[in-house]
């Protein structure tokens, strides 16, 4: 009876991991042919693999520039770095700093993404137009 239980557990374990590997593998014939059944797998055996991925690396900065209107003196303050230092100093009781970092970092990321989108909208038609004129001249 003990051997039967062991073999059953090993069988279920191996089937589970085989199915998991099929559904998380890059697109291939087997994965694509079973795509219609993926909702069943995701319903019962959903896995979030982000836990195993390395943390994203970024070097975003947010600066506040204050200008004295009388003396024309400028003072520049970097905002995210002090919050990051406070987060590491106060860990694991850094809820306030964590929320501040989350809000500011997401704001910076959103602004950066929008700038990239605007540049693509402006630059791409210009580049395509220039490419067209270059080919017409040849």
Instruction: Please report, for residues 16, 83, 100, 107, the alpha-carbon distance to residue 61 in angstroms, rounded to integers and kept in the order given.
Output: 44, 12, 14, 11
For the chain, the domains span 2-52, 81-137
Q: What is the pLDDT of residue 66?
A: 94
Residue 99, Cβ density class (10 Å: 0-12 exposed, 13-18 middle, ≥19 buried): exposed
Q: What is the pTM of this model?
A: 0.45
- Report the pLDDT averaged over residues 13-40: 81
Apex 40 CA angle, 37 and 43, nearest 5: 145
Pick from 10-14, 89-93, 122-126 the range whose average pLDDT is largest: 10-14
**Is a pLDDT exceeding 70 seen at residue 53?**
no
């Amino acid at each position: 009876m003990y051997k039967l239980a062991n073999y059953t557990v090993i069988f279920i374990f191996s089937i589970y991991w085989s199915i998991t590997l099929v559904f998380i593998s890059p697109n291939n014939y087997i994965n694509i042919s079973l795509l219609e059944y993926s909702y069943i797998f995701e319903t019962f055996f959903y896995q979030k693999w982000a836990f195993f991925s390395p943390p994203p690396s970024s070097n975003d900065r947010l600066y506040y520039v204050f200008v004295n209107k009388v003396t024309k003196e400028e003072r520049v303050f970097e905002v995210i770095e002090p919050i990051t230092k406070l987060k590491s100093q106060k860990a694991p009781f850094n809820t306030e700093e964590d929320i501040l970092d989350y809000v500011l970092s997401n704001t910076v990321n959103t602004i950066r993404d929008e700038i990239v989108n605007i540049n693509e909208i402006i630059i791409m038609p210009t580049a395509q137009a220039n490419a067209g004129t270059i080919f017409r001249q040849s």
